[in-house]
A = this chain, B = another copy of it.
């Protein structure tokens, strides 16, 4: 199995509400997305939004509700950019789980929670590289 992820699908309860939230963050969906799914091209991969119960059925898992052990992170190039993205998320209607602050691992990060409870850590990790095209690379 090649060492890569093609698609992360987030289960949502109201597709239009979630689409509007990501649009408010400045994201642009694929115009050819199927009627009941929203796809965003995110660098070398895709983020999808789909009805959570359909996703659970398709993934052959029980849905207990709530969070299930997966967190997304979005790394940026400066601490200032962490502050800026957290403000954008707040303006877009996100809950801020953790205000930006220095972290134990030597970086700086904050967390916002999307309308369906999916957490996003916005982080500056000085030991990682965020390329101009957004690719995030381990090591320095």
- Determine how many copies of this chain the complex contains: 2
Q: Which of A5, A27, A32, A64 has the most CB of B within 10 A?
A: A5
A64/B65 in contact, CB under 8 A: yes
Bound Cα distance from A75 to B111, whole angstroms: 29
Q: A80 interface residue, CB < 8 Å from B? A: no
Q: Size range of the interface on A?
A: 35 or more
Main secondary structure of the interface of A (DSSP, over half): mixed
Instruction: Report A's interface with B, CB cutoff 8 A.
Output: 1-12, 25-28, 30, 32, 34, 39-47, 52, 55-56, 58-76, 85, 88-89, 97-98, 105, 111, 113, 116-119, 121-123, 128, 130, 133-139
- Beyond A32-B138, A65-B64, A70-B68, whether A42 also contacts B119 by CB under 8 A is no
